[in-house]
Amino acid sequence: MIQDVMRKHKKLILWLTLGLIIGPFVVWGGYSGLSGQHQGAGMGGTLATVEGVPVDADRLRMALDSEISRRNESGQRNVSYRDLEADGTAQTILQQLMYQALLRAEAQRDNRNFDRALLVDELKKDPSFQDDKGQYDPKLWNAFLDQAGRRNWNAIYASMAEQVRMRIMTERIVAPARVLESEIRKQYEDMASSLRVKYVTIDLAERPTEEQIQKQYADNIDKYALPERRGIQFVSLSLLPERPALVDELVAKARAGEDFATLAKEHSSGKTAAQGGDLDWVTKDIFVPPHRQALFALESGQVSDAVLGPGGYYIYKSEEARTDTVTQQRQVRAREIYIESILPMEERTARIEKARSILDKARTAGSLEAAATEAGLTVMTASPFSGESTYAENIPSEEIRYLAGGLADVPAGSFPQTPISTPQTSYIVYVTNVEAAVPRPLEAVRDRVEEDAVMKLKQSPEYKQKMDALLQEIAAKAKSLQDIAAMHPELNVIIRETRPFSITSFDFQPGDPMWNRSEVFTAVGDKEPGAFGGPVRGFDGKSYFVELVAKVPPDAKAWEEEYPKEKERIQSSLLSMRQRAIMQDYLQSLYESNAAKIKFNQDSYDYLLGTRDRSSESATPEETAAPSGS
């Protein structure tokens, strides 16, 4: 069964694989995972063996947990291991682990020995031994050596030797990758240019019949009900770093009269730092992210408190306000200081693992209280809530939907499969009671039902065939947007014009076409004004045709001042793309030629998905002496 699934997904994009292969050695187990335990012999057992190289169930479990946490953070509900198997995610991750094992087997054929001093030098390059500036810190290294008695140095040296072999091999594989100067210049020109286009939206109208509306409601009556509400007990672990003292200092300085633009240039790590944090005019609409809402509570000249947002803290200053004469929406001319504050991934993973440990103990004991007490945490409660609730006792309002999503279908008197992690918190939850869903009559939810019925019609093969045929006809016969209007008056197309936009900008405003802007550049970016192109597919399921109004390329100053700064980054990006493509081809070929040698353990796979019990094993290798200090 697994072999068939792997073959089905063998052509998936593997853009992460190269980073996993040639990244830090901790990907392969690292020093922190080698204390008293053989590398690869995880508590979850072995999923597969490739020429003697194991593929750990624990590695797949951790990757699946991380994906579940990511989906919880995006608002998806009740994602389980089985869901990740059904949509192909589990198989994709498993395949990447198989690729790693195949490469490790290849690397092990390189039997050269490495001097231990060289291996120690490689180990010291790990980020764990670097300071905030990325420089090697002897104090961190010596602190690591202080625990040397608990380290398995034979395993550490073996892991580092394998990492060196892996790097040598992967460098050899991707060595043919090349990037031409002309390609770098073309990439920069596209990035630094702005386009303005006219466009029409192609969207075949679909109107469901009353019978279809009634059927949509009847077939999904639970979907339109007031959802179940759950009361819970919980403990939580913060996933936030400590608040930097700098953010409050900057707020105080700005409010005391220091120039905000100067403070932004000196301290902000945001994209607008060089411009003194200038955000230009910001419109108050539904697309404004929550952390930026604070901006619209300010009077002109006021400075906000530091607001926690994605990746750190944001400080805003309102300089001027106005009302858009067309949309009547409020706009603020503003500046921003962004101070990055991110919990290191290793620490985030450690905290989530701690949450999992507490959950495992609570499940074993049948009580959250005992596990919480042992961990020094306090059990809190929340009265019944759902994803539609705006308030839940002891839970921040912005985290309610994450928790509700993670608890969907979890019965009373039980724990969810994993801790529920939001961007800020990891929750260990026990469901105390469940209040049943309450059906709502059709008329109370008719708008939602009609929208869903239309969406269902547009997802049908018949609709897709009609749309594809229409787009092909327009692309073949039309030479302009006016031609489309003349050819298909039933579409009632309206020709609109965009604001100038770049290939790298994502500042969508209400009414903007929801398309991938790089596709617009591909369609008309290299042509003369008046050029016609399309179709361009939108994120919203619609399609567009465009005409180029104007293209503004980078000026001489940009080529002189900005291009040299961007050249190395662009070259590195293009080179990485070429290397990933070469590595992808190599891995697919390697997998196909070794498929018969891969031995899968269906029991371990089923156990991981929670459908089979199995005992765990571990092994302890021989110890050896640690290296000397700094």
| Residues 273 and 415 placed together within one structural domain of the fold | no
Higher pLDDT pick, 495 / 43: 495
| Residues 35 and 138 placed together within one structural domain of the fold | yes
Q: Is residue 297 part of a domain?
A: yes
| Residues 358 and 468 placed together within one structural domain of the fold | no
Element (H, E) at 461: helix 461-477
Q: What is the mean pLDDT of residues 26-54?
A: 51
What is the rounded distance in angstroms from the CA atom of residue 438 to the CA atom of residue 226? 5
Asked if pLDDT for residue 35 goes beyond 60, the answer is no
Q: What is the mean pLDDT of residues 515-526?
A: 90
Q: Is residue 158 part of a domain?
A: yes
Q: Is residue 129 part of a domain?
A: yes
Provide the token pair at 359: 């959950």
Q: What is the mean pLDDT of residues 428-442?
A: 94
Q: Is residue 217 part of a domain?
A: no
Q: Which of 29-38, 124-133, 512-521: highest mean pLDDT?
A: 512-521
Of 199, 191, 193, 190, the residue nearest 549 (C-alpha) = 199
Q: What confidence category does residue 591 fall into, taking pLDDT thresholds of 50, 70 and 90? A: confident
Q: Is residue 565 part of a domain?
A: no
Range of the domain at 600: 2-177+574-608
User: How many CB atoms within 10 Å of residue 256?
Assistant: 8
Report the SS3 class of residue 496.
strand
244-253, 481-490, 608-617: lowest mean pLDDT where? 608-617
| Residues 533 and 593 placed together within one structural domain of the fold | no
Asked if pLDDT for residue 126 goes beyond 90, the answer is no
Asked if pLDDT for residue 626 goes beyond 80, the answer is no
Q: What is the mean pLDDT of residues 522-526?
A: 91
CATH of residue 301: 3.10.50.40
Please check whether residue 600 is in contact with residue 2, taking contact to mean a CB–CB distance below 8 angstroms: yes
Across the chain, mean pLDDT equals 82
Q: What is the mean pLDDT of residues 570-594?
A: 89
| Residues 539 and 523 placed together within one structural domain of the fold | yes
| Residues 295 and 388 placed together within one structural domain of the fold | no
Please check whether residue 5 is in contact with residue 91, taking contact to mean a CB–CB distance below 8 angstroms: yes
**Number of structural domains found in the chain:** 4
Domain boundary residue, one of 340, 368, 396: 340
Higher pLDDT pick, 416 / 624: 416
pLDDT at 2: 40
pLDDT at 588: 86
Report which residue type is found at 439: P
What is the rounded distance in angstroms from the CA atom of residue 630 to the CA atom of residue 619? 31
The gap between the terminal CA atoms of the chain, to the nearest Å, is 52
| Residues 110 and 6 placed together within one structural domain of the fold | yes
For the stretch 375-417, pLDDT in tens is 999 999 999 999 889 899 999 888 898 899 889 889 999 999 8
Q: Is residue 569 part of a domain?
A: no
41-45, 189-193, 491-495: lowest mean pLDDT where? 41-45
56 DSSP β-pair partners: 46
Domain boundary residue, one of 301, 318, 340: 340
Q: Is 436 left (phi over 0), alpha (psi -120 to 50) or beta?
A: beta
pLDDT at 527: 92
pLDDT at 93: 86
Q: Is residue 613 part of a domain?
A: no
Asked if pLDDT for residue 507 goes beyond 70, the answer is no
Q: What confidence category does residue 120 fall into, taking pLDDT thresholds of 50, 70 and 90? A: confident
Q: What confidence category does residue 22 fall into, taking pLDDT thresholds of 50, 70 and 90? A: very low
Number of helices and strands in the chain (H, E): 22, 16
Query: Reading across the β-sheet that carries 312-323, which strands appear in turn?
Result: 278-283, 330-340, 312-323, 307-309
| Rounded (10°) angle between helices 153-174 and 89-108 | 100
| Residues 287 and 429 placed together within one structural domain of the fold | no
Domain boundary residue, one of 294, 319, 340: 340
| Residues 400 and 302 placed together within one structural domain of the fold | no
| Residues 578 and 489 placed together within one structural domain of the fold | no
pLDDT at 124: 85
Higher pLDDT pick, 324 / 57: 57
**What residues have CB less than 8 Å from 383, skipping those under 6 apart?**
231, 392, 393
543 DSSP β-pair partners: 202, 537
| Residues 508 and 363 placed together within one structural domain of the fold | no
Q: What confidence category does residue 73 fall into, taking pLDDT thresholds of 50, 70 and 90? A: low
Asked if pLDDT for residue 25 goes beyond 90, the answer is no
Asked if pLDDT for residue 217 goes beyond 60, the answer is yes
pLDDT at 11: 36
Q: What is the mean pLDDT of residues 463-490?
A: 93
Q: What confidence category does residue 611 fall into, taking pLDDT thresholds of 50, 70 and 90? A: low
For the stretch 90-116, pLDDT in tens is 888 888 888 888 888 888 888 788 888
User: How many CB atoms within 10 Å of residue 496?
Assistant: 15
**What residues have CB less than 8 Å from 281, skipping those under 6 apart?**
322, 331, 332, 333
320 DSSP β-pair partners: 333
Of 305, 414, 409, 306, the residue nearest 359 (C-alpha) = 414
Provide the token pair at 595: 């498929």
Higher pLDDT pick, 613 / 370: 370
| Residues 200 and 255 placed together within one structural domain of the fold | no
Q: What confidence category does residue 594 fall into, taking pLDDT thresholds of 50, 70 and 90? A: confident
**What residues have CB less than 8 Å from 619, skipping those under 6 apart?**
37, 38, 41
Provide the token pair at 69: 């946490």
pLDDT at 393: 92
pLDDT at 3: 42
Q: Is residue 303 part of a domain?
A: yes
Largest CA distance in the chain: 82
pTM here?
A: 0.54
